[in-house]
């Protein structure tokens, strides 16, 4: 009888675990469409990555994935939308370094706390930024660009995807390191900013390579330098800013996927495994790397550690450069 009672007790425990909400949620997930929120307008690198992932996520998860652009306030609106969504795995965020790690210092009041209200799933990118000008510009390299800018302090402006975005912060860092006074012009996304640079309405942009690369290759933009410590394979002849008179200059824009805090860990791990599996596909990797970023991947813990460390590092840059919300 003792053995029978023990077996019965084990069976009861197993049944309870299998029928627990977390396990049932993971087993049933997903059973309806997933909203994939991009906190910037169509046309920028965050939107491009979401749309590259969309089809593969649909295939591997067996459900519809709807990309939804919720732009504004330097990425805060879309990020807050996910932070306040139900923690059930059906609303996921294309998490960008701006709203995740810069804006907590840049903005006095955020409607969300990135580290408390959002749960990291996986890092997906590490983009270089490129200092670029319109082909009509007389600047052929960083040296001639600096000469022109310093000859007319305050007369040059640079476009960005919005306050707190990498395009904004790297420009402010450039001002500090190079001793320039480029005026910041904030747009609601990289696409609108890039359009005005292509139209020569704004002379300069520090853009994430993904969105500018096609225009650089077609001659519609002239690259002067990249923000990474080493040259990038996509532009092997373009020097780094560190090589171009600003030793030690380095800035990388990263992205990942996050979900509302409180999302069952089993669902977080399922999403993480799914994206890592997508990144393991050779054909997908080729398409991903073609936009200018290496495949990253990894664990939720690794992405969480990056967010924490970058909040400290980028927050210091914000304070040191005096960057503010316009």
Residues paired with residue 157 on neighbouring β-strands, in sequence order: 183
| 132 and 119 in a common domain | no
CATH assignment of the domain containing 260: 3.40.190.150
pLDDT of residue 25: 57
| 144 and 105 in a common domain | no
| 307 and 286 in a common domain | yes
Is residue 308 included in any domain, yes or no?
Answer: yes
| 262 and 116 in a common domain | yes
| 137 and 119 in a common domain | no
Please give the tally of structural domains in the chain: 2
240: three-class secondary structure by DSSP: strand
**pLDDT tens series, the chain, 326 aa:** 455 665 555 455 555 545 555 455 567 999 999 999 999 888 778 899 999 999 999 999 999 999 999 998 889 999 999 999 999 999 999 999 999 999 999 998 999 999 999 999 999 999 999 999 999 999 999 999 999 999 988 889 999 988 778 898 999 999 999 999 999 999 888 889 999 999 999 999 999 998 899 999 999 999 999 999 899 888 999 999 999 999 999 999 999 999 999 999 999 999 999 999 999 999 999 999 888 888 999 999 999 999 999 999 999 989 987 777 75
33: three-class secondary structure by DSSP: coil
- Residue whose C-alpha is closest to residue 35's, from 11, 4, 64, 66: 66
Is residue 21 included in any domain, yes or no?
Answer: no
| 280 and 139 in a common domain | no
| 222 and 134 in a common domain | yes
Q: Which of these three, 210, 226, 242, is where a domain ends?
A: 226
Is residue 236 included in any domain, yes or no?
Answer: no
Is residue 231 included in any domain, yes or no?
Answer: no
pLDDT of residue 211: 83
Q: Which of these three, 226, 244, 263, is where a domain ends?
A: 226
pLDDT of residue 1: 47
Is residue 6 included in any domain, yes or no?
Answer: no
Instruction: Give the separation between CA 300 and CA 294, rounded to whole angstroms.
Output: 18
Is residue 234 included in any domain, yes or no?
Answer: no
The answer to whether 253 and 75 are in contact (CB under 8 A) is no
| 107 and 137 in a common domain | no
Is residue 211 included in any domain, yes or no?
Answer: yes
CATH assignment of the domain containing 211: 3.40.190.10
The answer to whether 326 and 157 are in contact (CB under 8 A) is no
Range of the domain at 305: 30-126+253-321
| 210 and 146 in a common domain | yes
Number of H helices, E strands in the chain: 14, 9
Is residue 15 included in any domain, yes or no?
Answer: no
| 137 and 95 in a common domain | no
pLDDT of residue 74: 84
- Residue whose C-alpha is closest to residue 122's, from 292, 291, 289, 273: 273
| 132 and 121 in a common domain | no
Which pLDDT tens digit goes with each residue over 52-105? Answer: 999 999 999 999 999 999 998 889 999 999 999 999 999 999 999 999 999 999
pLDDT of residue 97: 94
| 272 and 208 in a common domain | no
The answer to whether 310 and 254 are in contact (CB under 8 A) is yes
**Can you spell out the DSSP letters for 166-209?**
HHHHHHHHHHHHHT--PEEEE-SSHHHHHHHHHTTSS-EEEEEH
The answer to whether 124 and 49 are in contact (CB under 8 A) is yes
SS3 per-residue string spanning 35-101: EEEECCCCCCHHHHHHHHHHHHHHHHHCCCEEEEECCCHHHHHHHHHHHCCCCCCCEEEEEEHHHHH
- Residue whose C-alpha is closest to residue 212's, from 166, 172, 169, 247: 166
pLDDT of residue 153: 86
Q: Which of these three, 226, 241, 263, is where a domain ends?
A: 226
């Amino acid at each position: 009888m003792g053995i029978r009672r023990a077996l019965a007790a084990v069976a009861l425990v197993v049944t309870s675990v299998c029928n627990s909400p977390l396990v049932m949620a993971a087993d049933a997930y997903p059973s309806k469409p997933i909203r994939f929120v991009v906190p910037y307008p169509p046309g920028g690198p965050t939107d491009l990555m979401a749309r590259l992932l969309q089809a593969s996520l649909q295939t591997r998860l067996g459900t519809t994935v709807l990309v939804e652009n919720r732009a504004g306030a330097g990425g805060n609106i879309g990020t807050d939308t996910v932070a306040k969504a139900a923690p059930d795995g059906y609303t996921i965020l294309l998490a960008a370094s701006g709203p995740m790690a810069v804006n907590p210092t840049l903005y006095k009041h955020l409607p969300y706390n990135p580290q408390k209200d959002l749960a990291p799933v996986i890092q997906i990118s590490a983009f270089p930024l490129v200092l670029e000008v319109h082909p009509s510009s007389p600047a052929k390299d960083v040296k001639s660009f600096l000469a022109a800018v310093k000859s007319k302090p305050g007369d040059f402006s640079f476009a960005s995807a919005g306050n707190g975005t990498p395009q904004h912060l790297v420009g402010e860092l450039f001002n500090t390191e190079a001793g320039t006074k480029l005026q910041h012009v904030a747009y609601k996304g990289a696409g609108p900013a890039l359009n005005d640079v292509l139209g020569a309405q704004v002379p300069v942009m520090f853009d994430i390579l993904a969105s500018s690369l096609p225009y650089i290759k077609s001659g519609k933009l002239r690259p002067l330098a990249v923000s990474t410590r080493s040259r990038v394979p996509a532009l092997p002849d373009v020097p780094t800013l560190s090589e171009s008179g600003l030793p030690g200059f380095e800035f990388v824009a990263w992205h990942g996927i996050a979900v509302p805090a409180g999302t069952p860990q089993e669902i977080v791990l399922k999403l993480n495994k799914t994206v890592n599996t997508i990144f393991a596909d050779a054909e997908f990797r080729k398409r991903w790397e073609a936009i200018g970023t290496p495949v990253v991947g990894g664990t939720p813990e690794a992405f969480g550690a990056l967010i924490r460390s970058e909040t400290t590092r980028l927050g210091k840059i914000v304070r040191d450069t005096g960057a503010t919300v316009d």
